[in-house]
Amino acid sequence: MAAVTIKDVKTILTQPAGSRLIIVKLITSEPGLYGVGCATFTQRFHAVHTAIEKHLKPFLIGRDVDRIEETWQMLMVNGYWRNGPVLNNAISGIDQALWDIKGKRANMPVYQLLGGKCREAAACYSHAGGDTIEAAIDSLRELMDQGYHYLRLGCGGYGGKPAQLYKPDGAPEGDYFDRKHYMRVQLKLFERTRAEVGDEIELCHDIHERLQPIEAVGFAKDMEQFKLFFLEDPLAPEDLEWFNNIRQQCATPIAMGELFNHPREWQPLIEGRLIDFIRMHVSQMGGITPARHVAAFANMYGIRTAWHGPGDTSPVGHAANLHLDLWAPNFGIQEWCRFPEHVYEIFPGLPVVRKGYMYPNDSPGLGIDVDEKLAAKYPCEDEIIKWTQCRLPDGTPVRP
């Protein structure tokens, strides 16, 4: 029987709900058979688009769609330089689309190809927050009323929003925050929240690498009393050695990984049992193929999955996350961004969440598609991103 091959590669850019999304569509030599994947790097979408169209597409035309592992390995090394966010996202879109095709050819959902379900649905957490402690707790209660049992909670956004900043004359524009103020406010928020809603609800918090390492150690220790489900991104990828200090000081569960794109970033944390949840961005790490390898690796060390799932993971990416969630024996939790209704029209088959659980639709492949005509109504807009231009009160540039 003749092999089914890649006939064409299309890149679909759309911005229906704030984030610029990149969808890869692989068209095959078999009439009507195609697959979709997520290649979203919203801050550098033009670079990913170019990488796919100018570099990966010529490499892929004519290749056998069944050889997913081989294709992934060759894509990763064909440019010689490897493991960067642009390349990984571009490869992820191809990889997910190939898994989608594989499932369609087998007439099975992708989770069946991975090994079958370990659960019927994936527990999700959503984001509660506000500019004040009162508003954040109100947001939390609203989501609890919708059936969410796991919730990420914060006040004032990443780094907080101090009422007053003492900036020097001539300080440039930027997304200013004050680390000490941020820590004080979050501790008050969690103290109030536990007093008002009790201990049964599972709470998470995202530091978003905004603290100095020694501050992160102290903050994780201070948060231990609130029995978090996890504390997210307490350190930047550049500060991995500091996870030893956090482990020595407290038993606060730690989740880490959304910025990781190289195996040497997650391997030592897993081997050292220095974190409790891996939460890589599946397109940032290169797709379903490396994600399933990492999930199996983490399982040997008792570390659970919590894949990154914000609004700048496309609906196709969320579908890919879900298939990994349903299969992985060491699934922990899934982040969920709550897309508006019109996004469900653009992406038929987008997983639905009911009372805090995300359910598959059991269609072959990833079970999701993209309506290209509807997607085209929401073209991507260029902008100079402001929230990543972070500064301390004196104007010093810092990590977002």
Report percent pLDDT > 70 for the chain: 100
Q: Which of 350, 346, 340 is nearest to 377 (CA)?
A: 346
Q: How far apart are CA 303 and CA 299, in angstroms?
A: 6
Maximum CA extent, the chain: 74
Q: Architecture of 113-365 per CATH?
A: Alpha-Beta Barrel (3.20)
What is the pLDDT at residue 166?
85
Give the mean pLDDT of 261-276: 97
Given a cut of 80, whether residue 276 has pLDDT beyond it is yes
Please tell me whether residue 99 adopts helix, strand or coil conformation: helix
For residue range 95-115, list pLDDT tens digits in order.
Answer: 999 999 999 999 999 999 999
Q: Architecture of 6-109 per CATH?
A: 2-Layer Sandwich (3.30)
pLDDT band at 162 (very low <50, low <70, confident <90, very high): confident
Given a cut of 90, whether residue 76 has pLDDT beyond it is yes
What is the pLDDT at residue 223?
98
What is the pLDDT at residue 121?
98
Q: Which residues have CB under 8 Å from 24's CB, separation 6+? A: 9, 10, 11, 12, 36, 37, 38, 39, 52, 93, 94, 96, 97
What is the pLDDT at residue 164?
82
pLDDT band at 161 (very low <50, low <70, confident <90, very high): confident
**Contact (Cβ atoms closer than 8 angstroms) between residue 159 and residue 391:** no
Q: Same fold for the domain at 6-109 and the one at 113-365?
A: no
From 208, 308, 318, 323, active-site residue:
208
Range in 64-78, 156-170, 182-196, 250-264 the model is least confident about = 156-170
Look-up: residue for tokens 């020097």? Answer: 168
Look-up: residue for tokens 């229906």? Answer: 16
Q: How far apart are CA 309 and CA 126, in angstroms?
A: 10
State which H helix or E strand residue 142 sits in.
Answer: helix 133-145
Please tell me whether residue 395 adopts helix, strand or coil conformation: coil
Is the pTM higher than 0.85? Answer: yes
For residue range 39-52, list pLDDT tens digits in order.
Answer: 999 999 999 999 99
Sequential DSSP letters for 370-390: --HHHHHTS-------STT-E
For residue range 56-65, list pLDDT tens digits in order.
Answer: 999 999 999 9
pLDDT band at 163 (very low <50, low <70, confident <90, very high): confident
DSSP letter for 13, please: E
Sequence ranges of the domains in the chain? 6-109, 113-365
Average pLDDT, the chain: 97
Give the mean pLDDT of 324-345: 98
Q: Which of 180, 227, 239 is nearest to 201 (CA)?
A: 227
**Contact (Cβ atoms closer than 8 angstroms) between residue 283 and residue 315:** no
**Contact (Cβ atoms closer than 8 angstroms) between residue 124 and residue 333:** yes
From 148, 158, 176, 182, active-site residue:
158
pLDDT band at 2 (very low <50, low <70, confident <90, very high): confident
Look-up: residue for tokens 């969630």? Answer: 325
Among this protein's residues, is 208 annotated catalytic?
Answer: yes
**Contact (Cβ atoms closer than 8 angstroms) between residue 288 and residue 95:** yes
DSSP letter for 312, please: T
Please tell me whether residue 60 adopts helix, strand or coil conformation: helix
What is the pLDDT at residue 197?
97
Among this protein's residues, is 166 annotated catalytic?
Answer: no
Given a cut of 90, whether residue 1 has pLDDT beyond it is no
